[in-house]
Amino acid sequence: MEVIIFENESLVAKRAASMFVDLLTAKPSAVLGLATGSTPIKTYQELIAKFNDGEVSFKDVSTFNLDEYVGLKSKDKQSYQYFMREQLFDSIDVQIENTHFPVCVDAKNNQEMAEDYEAKIAEKKGIDLQLLGIGHNGHIGFNEPSSSLSSRTRLKTLTHSTLKANSRLFKEGEVQPTMAMTMGIGTIMDAKEILLVATGKDKAQAVRDTIEGAVSASCPASILQMHPSVTVLLDKHSASNLENTEYYQRVADQVKQLR
Ligand code: F6R
C-alpha cells in the first residue's frame, strides 16, 4: 500500500487524475472502475480539463461504477448514472454504451442483475484501475461494516450512518433509497490496481482504521491491506490520525526518485 499525503484536496485530485492519464496513455482501451460521492468530483474535473487540453481520450474506455441505488432509473436526478453523466461522461468522449452501472430498478431481479454485472466485468477481462472513496464507517462501494470480505455484486441495506451522510444530497420531498446494488468487496479486490482517495477531517478515523488498523469486516476498506497494488491519496486532514506519516513520506520520496 502506497500512502501519499498532500497539503490540500486539489493536489490529491491532480495526482489521482494523472494516474488515470498514465494508465490511458499506456492502455487507451483500459477498463476503469469509477466512484460517485463528493470526493471524486475534483478528480473528474481534472480529467475533464486534461481531456479538453488533448492530453487524454476516453473513446476506447469501458467503465464500471461501484454502485447504484435500488429503484432509481438513469433519468432520476439522484441516480448515480445521472451523477456520472453530469460530473464526467457528458464532458468527455467516452461512448455512453461502454459505461456500466449495477442497475436494479426492481429489487426482485437483484440476483440476476448482480450476476449480469459480474459477467460484464469478466467479459472485459477485469478492471484495470478502480477508484474508491471511503465512508465514515470505512465502507467501500456500499459494502457496509459486517459485509463479507469476499462478497460479490449484490444488494445491500444501507446503514443509518450512510443514509445520514448521504441525506445532504436529497432535497425535501425526494425519497432517499435505503438499499443499493454494489460491487462486492471481492469484486473490488479483483481490480488490477486500486486508488483510494480521501479528504477532510471527517474521514480521519476511517483512514486510520483502513491503513493502520486490523483487517476486519468492521472496517471494510481495511481489506485493501491484502491487495498487491493500492495507492492511497490523502489530504493532510484525512491523514491526521495516522501514526506513521513520517514513514509514508519517506517511502513516497524514495518511490519518486526511482520512477
Ligand atoms: C460511491 C461510493 C461510496 C463513497 C463514500 C464516500 O460510489 O461507493 O463508497 O465513495 O460513501 O462518499 P463521499 O465522497 O461523498 O464522502
Q: Which residues approach ligand 1 with their CB closer than 6 A?
A: 35-39, 66-67, 133-135, 139-142
CA gap 141, 144 in Å, rounded: 8
Of ligand 1's atoms, which has the minimum distance to the CA of residue 37?
15
CA of 153 from ligand 1 middle (Å) equals 16
pLDDT in tens, 3-54: 999 999 999 999 999 999 999 999 999 999 999 999 999 999 999 999 999 9
Look-up of cell digits 492519464 = 21
- pTM here is 0.97
Q: Best of 41, 103, 131, 142 to mutate for ligand 1, by most ligand atoms within 8 A of CB? A: 142
Specify the pLDDT at position 174. Answer: 87
Specify the pLDDT at position 91. Answer: 98
Low-confidence residues of the chain, pLDDT below 50? none
Among left, alpha and beta (phi > 0; psi -120 to 50; other), residue 125 is left
Do the beta carbons of residue 113 and residue 103 sit within 8 Å? Answer: yes
Specify the pLDDT at position 175. Answer: 87
**Domain ranges (residues) in the chain:** 2-258
CA of 224 from ligand 1 middle (Å) equals 16
CA of 138 from ligand 1 middle (Å) equals 10
Domain 2-258, CATH 3.40.50.1360 — does that match? yes
Whose CA is closest to 44, among 92, 95, 97, 96?
92
Specify the pLDDT at position 135. Answer: 97
Specify the pLDDT at position 106. Answer: 84
Specify the pLDDT at position 172. Answer: 87
